[in-house]
Amino acid sequence: MKVGVISDTHGLLRPEALATLQGCERIIHAGDIGTPEILDQLEAIAPLYAVRGNNDRDSPWASNLSDALRFNLNGWQTLLVHDIADVPVAIEAGIKLVITGHSHKPFIEWRGERLFLNPGSAGRRRFKLPVTLALLEVSGTLIEPRLVTLL
């Protein structure tokens, strides 16, 4: 299963991001979405999991979004939150994939058998950080993450 992971669009969904996400079977947005139209565009590609980011909290359109989601991604129990500071110190035993955003700094880090992923920011460039998203190839026994630089 091909999964696209995007975060921190802040109201800007770049054509390069949309093109990269084509063919994904699921899309995950790790918050700071910016506008509901971004969710509509992503849902037009594939089923979407999304959480509210700190910049979405005061927006009425985002009131139905959760601050945290737990779901099964092709056999991988997943925790999705916007800010890594909101990840519990004692993560539930079954969680094998933790996805966060917020920092705009992309990273992929295995901690034992648990994968921590931040796709970086796909919206407006912040400081000198790259504009990125992530793609995952997920099977029942294997997950292969990679970062994609958009600009």
Q: Where are the domains of the chain?
A: 2-149
Model pTM above 0.75 = yes
With beta carbons less than 8 A apart as the criterion, state whether 77 and 32 touch: no
Question: What is the per-residue pLDDT for 151?
Answer: 80
User: In the predicted model, is pLDDT for residue 127 greater than 90?
Assistant: no
> Tokens 């594939």 label which residue?
46
Task: With cut-offs at 50, 70 and 90, classify the pLDDT of residue 21.
Answer: very high
Average pLDDT across the chain, whole number: 96
Q: How much of the chain is helix, strand and coil, in % rounded to 5?
A: 15, 35, 50
Q: Residue 62: pLDDT above 90? A: yes
For residue 24, name the pLDDT band (cuts at 50, 70, 90).
Answer: very high
Domain 2-149 of CATH type 3.60.21.10: yes
Round to whole Å and give the CA distance between 88 and 144. Answer: 24
